[in-house]
């Protein structure tokens, strides 16, 4: 059993990375081998629309991304993994740019231009997504983010077979709010939530990892 996680945040020790780490701890507690990859450490770009992954009739890259970069060996690992978990902060209503580029490369080669669309991924695996954001849950709903998350879930299910997601709201953004112009936030309330609510989010992430490793 192998569970891989992908950090779409530029920070390696903050909210998103912490939750992904907890998910992998949960998987490891059930005996799974785990690996956390920080996307900002890698040299890659999004899909270049070469369509090599769609070219039939002996196309060498049919069903696989033809671009050779730091993602190439990672995609080979994913094809052997039993579960993958993506994690990203929400920037201006969407995932980080690094995560968006990764998702283009992760999803497009396995998705066919057929009606209905089919999956070329060789087998069924579990997938998950962990979103972190400075917004409250109420604001997230008002801004329509759920549709964005459900669209990701739908595509991941179609290609990989199963998917789920969780959100961590109103996250603690800085070590010291007095050093950053952020008057829209109440640092006392932020610290309180970090102490009381974020540990519960960590528990949810841990539980996701245990489920993916067969601890349902």
Q: What is the mean pLDDT of residues 42-50?
A: 95
What band does 175 get if pLDDT is binned at 50, 70 and 90? confident
Three-state helix/strand/coil letters over 143-208: CCHHHHHHHHHHHHHHHHEEEEEEEECCCCCCCCHHHCCCCCCCHHHHHHHHHHCHHHHHHHHHHH
pLDDT of residue 181: 87
Q: What is the mean pLDDT of residues 71-89?
A: 96
pLDDT of residue 216: 53
Q: pLDDT tens-digit profile of 50-79?
A: 999 998 876 678 889 999 999 999 999 999
Compute the residue count for the chain.
216
Domains and CATH numbers, the chain: 2-212 (3.40.50.360)
């Amino acid at each position: 059993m192998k569970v891989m996680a992908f950090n779409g945040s530029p920070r390696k020790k903050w909210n998103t990375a912490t939750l992904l780490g907890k998910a992998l701890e949960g998987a490891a507690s059930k005996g799974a081998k785990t690996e956390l990859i920080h996307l900002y450490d890698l040299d890659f770009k999004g899909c270049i629309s070469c369509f090599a992954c769609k070219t039939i009739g002996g196309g060498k890259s049919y069903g696989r991304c033809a671009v050779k970069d730091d993602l190439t060996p990672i995609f080979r690992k994913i094809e052997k993994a039993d579960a993958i978990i993506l994690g990203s902060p929400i920037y201006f209503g969407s995932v980080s740019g690094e995560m968006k580029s990764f998702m283009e490369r992760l999803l497009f080669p396995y998705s066919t231009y057929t009606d209905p669309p089919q999956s070329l991924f060789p087998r069924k695996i579990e997938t998950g997504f962990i979103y972190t954001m400075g917004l409250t849950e109420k604001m997230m709903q008002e801004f329509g983010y759920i549709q964005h998350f459900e669209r990701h879930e739908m595509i991941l299910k179609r290609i990989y077979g199963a998917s789920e997601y969780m959100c961590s709201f109103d996250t603690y953004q800085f070590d010291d709010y007095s050093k950053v112009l952020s008057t829209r936030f109440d640092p006392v309330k932020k610290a309180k939530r970090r102490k009381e609510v974020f540990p519960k989010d960590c528990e949810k992430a841990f539980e996701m990892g245990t489920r993916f490793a067969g601890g349902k």
